[in-house]
Amino acid sequence: MLTILAAGSVFFPGLFVLSKQCLKHIPALRWSEGDAVIVSARLVSSVQAIMASSAGYIIASSCDDIIEDQHWLTSAYILFAVPYFVYDIYAMFMCYWYKLRIKGHEGDSGAKPLGAALTSYLRREFLMVLHHIVMVTVCFPVSVFWRQGKGDYFQGVMFLAEVSTPWVCLGKILIQYKQQHTLLHKVNGATMLVTFFTCRVLLFPFLYYAYGRYASIPLHMVPFNVPWQVNLGAAMLMAPQVYWFSLICRGALRLFTGSSRSRRSPVTAKDDLDGQAPSQPANGYSTHATEQKSDSH
């Protein structure tokens, strides 16, 4: 257990540092510190998402009995990924810190004490930070110890929630390089909308449906036939996904109806589109509409 935790603790921060150094020093790129930090954070989030969704597919597809069947990859990947959520809190703060400078607020960020910047970051990204803390302090012990080796199928399906994360990250990078007017940006936004709804919002009804089929009971009776802790956990995990999806829908409407801003500064709509996660699990979702102003280039 400790070996896998240690591996994750080295892998995710190490990949972040390696990516940042490469982006800064490769002759063809030589990006600034801020650009390198932000893109590296998105890259690490995307890598984690690909790994998690791949593990989820392997686990879910290998379990015939959705309650009793076990797969070694379930607990192994949970242990490996836990350090990611701790690292990602730091990475999100670094993105926030450098975003101020990139967007022409050098004076503000230079004068603002680190404590004030941290307070502002926690206030703006409160829901995302809380989500990460819950993943470490609640979901980790529940998934590894409370389940007692049962329900690997459900855990694997929940890993598939990360399918939407690479599209969120790509959207953030396109915004960073002022590509909001491109077809790629719109295609990415539509893809993110579909994947987020399918893999994060519909995820929980599907889990209840799967258990209903397994237990041969109607869907509406499933909540009354599972432990109350399961219903509470599902509600707590689903609530922020629904909220973030509402932000995505609002951003998508503004993006595709052309009601955001001029072509030169249409950042607002996509900021709502990227109002995440995660799980994000996701990284970088905005939980405040007022962030749109600070995200304008």
Instruction: Write down the pLDDT at residue 109.
Output: 42
**If we measure between CA atoms, which residue out of 40, 56, 139, 124 comes closest to residue 88?**
40
In angstroms, how far is CA 272 from the centroid of its own chain? 14
Instruction: Write down the pLDDT at residue 7.
Output: 96
Integer Cα distance of 52 and 162 in angstroms: 7
Instruction: Write down the pLDDT at residue 182.
Output: 86
Cβ-based neighbours of 76, under 8 Å, separated by 6 or more = 4
**If we measure between CA atoms, which residue out of 216, 207, 197, 219 comes closest to residue 273?**
197
The string of DSSP codes covering 252-293 is HHHHHHT-SS-TT--HHHHHHHT---BTBB-S-----TTHHH
The residue count of the chain comes to: 297
Per domain, the residue ranges of the chain are 2-294
pLDDT, tens digit, 9 for 90 and up, residues 195-204: 999 999 999 9
50: exposed, middle or buried (Cβ count in 10 Å: 0-12, 13-18, 19+): middle
**If we measure between CA atoms, which residue out of 97, 233, 251 comes closest to residue 167?**
251
Instruction: Write down the pLDDT at residue 276.
Output: 37
Tokens for 49?
């998402």
Whole-model pTM? Answer: 0.81
Q: Which amino acid is at 174?
A: L
Q: Which residues of the chain have pLDDT under 50?
A: 104-111, 259-260, 262-297
Instruction: Write down the pLDDT at residue 28.
Output: 77
Integer Cα distance of 101 and 149 in angstroms: 48
